[in-house]
Amino acid sequence: MIKLYYAPNSCSLAPHIALEDAGATYKAILVDFSKEEQRSPEFLALNPKGRVPALLTGNGVVSENPAILSYIAQSFPDANLAPIGDPFAFAQVQAFNAYIASTLHVAHAHGRRASRWADSPAAIADMRNKMPEVVAACFQTIERDMFIGPYVMGEQYTICDAYLFTLAQWMEGDKVDPTTVPNIHAHREMMLQRPPVQRAIQQESAAQ
């Protein structure tokens, strides 16, 4: 059975939603950050990066959201979560998810975990103060240049939607006004009505 190692209020919500979308049989395993379980020997043996999500499969562990989401889409082709038969279209999906992982999420992390990049209190404060502007710019780029609508890639729902929704949930906490990106805001509200999204959120909320 597939096992998803997750933490509430983290980016592991994206593959959690995707597994629900796929109708997969899986087990969701809480990694309790308040107890620093992500640094435990048991978890580090599974994922030496000490981060969630991690997906344990019959072939081994997959980490990093773009890879995990791609694995889910390709493992459950009948769910039609990505255009896996079209190399260019699938590359577009991968490009979007890579931007979320490498640019938007990293910008967000500068507000929460600035100490990863600096030791000076002044430098850390500067990064935290700059974070809302940079995160807002990332969302504006998605809104202007990457989002087709009504879903990220157009009419077809894909793994990109679960990933965008997950980070869009953090906008207010990052001091970004959702109404400045109306298409992303409407997408977030639409996603909240999807039963797979509701099930994933409910599972994670119940574990807190």
Distance in angstroms (rounded) separating the CA atoms of residues 38 and 58? 22
Distance in angstroms (rounded) separating the CA atoms of residues 186 and 189? 5
- Global pTM? 0.96
Q: Are residues 187 and 164 in contact, defined by beta-carbon separation less than 8 angstroms?
A: yes
Domain shared by 52 and 121, yes or no:
no
- So what's the pLDDT on residue 206? 83
- So what's the pLDDT on residue 114? 84
Distance in angstroms (rounded) separating the CA atoms of residues 178 and 172? 7
Range of the domain at 109: 87-194
Diameter of the chain measured on Cα atoms: 52
Q: Residue holding tokens 């999420």?
A: 105
- Amino acid 55 reads L
Domain of residue 57, CATH code: 3.40.30.10
Residues of the chain with pLDDT > 70, as a percent, come to 100
Check pLDDT > 70 for residue 79: yes
- So what's the pLDDT on residue 207? 73
Check pLDDT > 70 for residue 81: yes
Check pLDDT > 80 for residue 68: yes
Check pLDDT > 80 for residue 72: yes
50 conformational bin, left if phi > 0, alpha if psi -120 to 50, beta if neither? left
- Taking CA atoms, 182 is separated from 140, 149, 164, 177, 186, in Å, by 10, 11, 14, 10, 6
Domain shared by 15 and 54, yes or no:
yes
Cβ-based burial of 83 (10 A; exposed 0-12, middle 13-18, buried ≥19): middle
pLDDT tens string 41-60 = 999 999 999 999 999 999 99
Domain shared by 56 and 116, yes or no:
no
Distance in angstroms (rounded) separating the CA atoms of residues 174 and 128? 10
The helix/strand/coil state of 26 is: strand
Distance in angstroms (rounded) separating the CA atoms of residues 6 and 28? 7
Domain shared by 183 and 202, yes or no:
no
Q: How many domains does the chain have?
A: 2
Distance in angstroms (rounded) separating the CA atoms of residues 144 and 77? 30
Domain shared by 26 and 92, yes or no:
no
Domain shared by 135 and 62, yes or no:
no
Domain of residue 152, CATH code: 1.20.1050.10
Mean pLDDT calculated for residue range 28-53: 96
Domain shared by 113 and 185, yes or no:
yes
pLDDT tens string 4-24 = 999 999 999 999 999 999 999
Domain shared by 98 and 69, yes or no:
no
- So what's the pLDDT on residue 175? 97
Domain shared by 41 and 133, yes or no:
no
Contacts of 30 (CB under 8 A, 6+ apart): 6, 7, 8, 207
Domain shared by 119 and 187, yes or no:
yes
Domain shared by 23 and 105, yes or no:
no
Domain shared by 65 and 23, yes or no:
yes
Check pLDDT > 70 for residue 208: no
